[in-house]
Structure 1
Amino acid sequence: MQTFHLDLNHPQFVRDPYPLLAELRENLPVFYDEGWNKVFFLRYDDISSLLRDKRLGRSITHILSRDELGWPPPNPLTRDFDRFQENHMLDNEPPKHTRLKGLMLKAFTPARVESLRGKIQSIVHGLIDQAEDRGGMDLLADYAEPLPVTVIAELLGVPEEDRPLLRPWSARIVKLYELGYTEEQAKAANQAVVEFSDYIKRLAEERRRRPGPDLISALVEVEEQGDKLTADELVANCILLLNAGHEATVNGTTAGFLALSRNPDQLELAKEAAAKGNSEFFKTAVEELLRYDTPLPMFERWVLEDLELGGVSLRKGQEVALMYASGNRDPRKFPEPDRLHLTRKENQHLTFGLGIHYCIGAPLARLELQTSLQTLLKRLPGVHLATAEVEYTGGFVIRGHKAMPVAF
């Protein structure tokens, strides 16, 4: 296997990874990166196959010990973060994953998501009301961030006065999903897990005494064949819902608007659809925006047993990096992949994953993105970027923006 080092956190790559990804996808679609100690895959078919392959998983320590993997002892700085990881469904494999996901799905139902439609629309209108007379806003801080945090808070049943706590906790926690995080970030993330966990435990106790129509009440009650979520599992999966439930939506909103701004013909198409109240258009448009500039561009998997894919041998205990951002621009799968085409019909992008770890929050993220984009363009048809250059937060794995000033 050929080797190559991909400087994932280089500012130029974070700003626009697609030219280098296109070059690698054609000439070096699979490579081993010694610096990151991972095997990178860049083509859609390879990524799709690996996501569906049960010989790969999100965790490895249920198969091999830390000693067998050659890992150092657990970092005491991230003790609480590690316990959080052990108890949520994303970083577990069957049978634990099957059990946790099954219990979560009994509470996180399509009906519960659909019941939020009116609330999401109301929140969006309220955010625009606050900014409308100012003639401008930060699309990130004033629009993209408050919406999913408010929705998740509403879903969980977090009282309004406590909601400002959620975004800072989540922002600190997700730093540990970046590659090359600092010791200071590790301490901050661990402390955020402690504070968030304590808060959810108190809320869960209240819901045990006085159940409500919220998700935490449902998770406290949910049971299948005598099996219930433990206290740690309930806490971990609520934290996961906030982290996963808003990072993709925040980054998807700002990346989507940036993509429209750089493709004026498609922006005009979207404005026309918004003016006509064409909600079906935005269902298709959001899928294309999620493909075109993937809000969470890379996910990792562990090799649980030796396997071969297209002549590439992978050994048990290796880690692979699946470059969603590259797969979503693969010309073998998507005609004219570098063109934003809001009416693209065949659009089986990788953004929400595939296989058993497919994102259970995808329907909610789609609903939020469709509603927020359509309403923004309908109520503020003159909205446009108020800066020549948009800055990124620094990392590729959680590829977000520092700010996005717009005027209207």
Structure 2
Amino acid sequence: MSQTTKTSTGLPASFHLENGQLTLDPRDPSFVQNPYPAYAALIEAGGVALWNTIGGLAVARHDLVAAILKDRRFGRIVPNNAEGRPDFSDKPDHLSAFYTLEAGSLLELEPPTHTRLRALLTRAFVSRRIEQLAPQITAIADALIDSFEGKPAIDLIADFATPLPVRVITALIGVQDAAAERLLDWSHRIVAMYTPGRTQAVEVAANRAAEEFAAFLRPAIDDKRHAPGDDLISALMAAEVEDGKLDRDELISLVVLLLNAGHEATVHQIGNAVKLILESGEDPAVLFADTRQAEAAIEETLRLDPPLHLFERFALETIELPGGVTLERGDKVALLLAAANRDPQAYGQPGRFIPDRFLARETKTLTSFGGGIHFCIGAPLARLELRIGLERLFRRCPKLTIAAPPRYRDNWHFHGLERLEVSRL
């Protein structure tokens, strides 16, 4: 692999790539604000490099990322038992509650346990249940836009992007909407565990959040066992089969995962998408003129600035990657989903917002929602929320403009804006 130096346009100060070795601080402020020049340099140099900060092989090429996501020789964990469960016995005591949740999370399981739980969730998370949410999503979006009235400045993240998916997912799961603020706080503290370079204070806060989250859900789950309703928790219970019963810890882990994943990424993507569209110069009225056009525009925002940039896999056996790279069992690969979405071998003019791109059938598949058995089960809901939410926003606020320079949160691989100040005039 050839040397890449910091003379390339826009590269972070901490970036250095030489002989297949990548040096890059994921907390580098310039990288957090704009990681795409670093991704482009990595792809130009072959798309694969050992990134010591992450502790694994960074993979940026679209063809490799897409292939590894579906390759069963890679897993989210390296299971040491026949059930495909993780071994967290070596984790510190101050993280016991957090890893109790993780032990039942689909993201930390492999077959056969993953197969059983995913099948139960798929049965409960059917497409018609998602489609039935459309009127509710519209009503929530309109109510939030109504609240803009009289405000001299609107922070689209706090006033729209955050409450919309939170209210939708709490309604879907079947927990009280009044608990939204607590759920947000717990979710933010838990998700902070996945940030590179986390501190012990972050760990302690995440563990406490896991304890409180589980304590909140236990009585709600018990109530629904006795009086089921039209919600996902009740549907999960109804989907149980004799050879695949959910125990309560597994059910709590699934619900926590759905609540966290069901809003964190969507919050970020709403903000990222609005920023992209407003900066692009495209007419939102045209982009959202009909459902097909709107869906294509949403896909392009998911390609160009997605909310999740890193997803890890581990080799389950000795594997030879193209280019002569050999992985041994247990070796980590850091799949750079957002880099793959800007690979010029997959997408022409990859840095440009081209809203009609996904109207063409030959367009490559996005990596934004992962792939294979761990493909995001909430992708249809996220796309529906984005389409309806943005259509209502731009229809009712046709003169929306950015009022202050946006900044991304210091949380690189969950890539989203900390604030998006907009004006309706």
- For 2:380, the equivalent position in structure 1 comes to 363
Of 72, 78, 97, 1:54 maps to: 72
Identical counterparts, % of pairs: 38
Contact 2:54–2:334 (8 Å) recurs in 1: no
Q: Which amino acid aligns with 2:71?
A: D
Highest relative contact order (Cα 8 Å, sep 6+), 1 or 2? 1
For each residue in 1:279-308, what CA deviation from the matched residue of structure 2 results, as whole angstroms up to 9, or x when unmatched?
Answer: 221111100000001110111111111111
Tell whether 2:210 aligns with 1:214.
no
Structure 2 SS opposite 1:350: coil
**Matched residue type, 1:360:** I
Aligned to 1:407: 423
- What corresponds to 1:272 in structure 2? 286
Q: Give how far 1:63 is off.
A: 6.3
Report deviation, 1:89.
1.2
Across the aligned residues of Structure 1 and Structure 2, the Cα RMSD in angstroms comes to 1.7
Q: Secondary structure at the match of 2:204?
A: helix
Matches within 5 A, 1:164-243: 164-243=181-260
Question: How far is 1:175 from its partner?
Answer: 0.3
What's 2:348 paired with?
335
User: For residue 36 of structure 2, what is the aligned residue in structure 1?
Assistant: 18
> Secondary structure in 2 aligned to 1:402?
strand
The number of residues matched between the two structures is: 397
1:287 is matched with 299
Give secondary structure in 2 for the equivalent of 1:329.
coil
Q: Is the 8 A contact 1:123 1:147 kept in 2?
A: yes
Greater fraction helix: 1
Structure 2 counterpart of 1:385 = 402
Deviation at 1:97, TM superposition (A): 0.6
CA deviation map 1:9-42 (0-9, x unaligned): 2110011111121011111411112232111111
The aligned counterpart of 1:303 is 315
CA–CA separation in structure 2 for the residues paired with 1:10 and 1:140: 23
1:313 maps to 2:326: yes
- How many Å separate the matches in 1 of 2:365 and 2:243? 38
Distance 1:62 1:262 in 2: 49
The answer on whether the counterparts of 1:63 and 1:304 sit within 8 Å (CA) in structure 2 is no
- Structure 1 CA distance, aligned partners of 2:77 and 2:259? 21
Distance 2:260 2:375 in 1: 15
User: Please, what TM-score do these two structures have when normalized by structure 1?
Assistant: 0.94
Distance in 2 between residues matched to 1:19 and 1:348, nearest whole Å: 22
What residue in structure 1 maps to residue 125 of structure 2? 108
Residue 374 of structure 1 is aligned with which of 391, 396, 399? 391
| Alpha-carbon distance in 2 for matches of 1:330, 1:36 | 21
State whether residues 193 and 203 of structure 2, in contact with CA within 8 Å, keep that contact through their aligned partners in structure 1.
Answer: yes
CA deviation map 1:213-265 (0-9, x unaligned): 1111112232124321110010001000011111111110111111122211x
Unaligned runs of 5+ in 1: none
CA distance in 1: counterparts of 2:375 and 2:259, whole angstroms? 16
Deviation at 1:320, TM superposition (A): 0.7
Q: In 2, Cα distance between the equivalents of 1:62 and 1:130?
A: 52
The C-alpha deviation readout for 1:66-112, integer Å capped at 9, x for no partner, is: xxx9x993122211111111101121011111011001111111111
Within the candidate set 135, 138, 141, 2:155 is matched to: 138
Question: Secondary structure at the residue paired with 1:31?
Answer: strand
The answer to which of 390-399 and 206-215 deviates more is: 390-399
Matches within 5 A, 1:247-258: 247-258=264-275
Moved more, 360-369 or 135-144: 135-144
Give runs of aligned pairs for residues 114-153 of structure 1, distance below 5 A: 114-153=131-170
Give, in angstroms, the shift of residue 136 of structure 1. 3.4
User: How high is the TM-score relative to the length of structure 2?
Assistant: 0.90
Tell me which amino acid in the other structure corresponds to 1:271: A
Aligned to 2:367: 350
Q: Is the 8 A contact 1:172 1:188 kept in 2?
A: yes
Give the corresponding residue for 2:276: 259
Q: C-alpha distance in 2, partners of 1:263/1:73?
A: 49
**Pair 118,158 (structure 1): closer, same or farther in 2 beyond 3 Å:** same
Paired position in structure 1 for 2:13: none
Query: Residues of 1 paired with 2:279 and 2:414: CA distance?
Result: 22
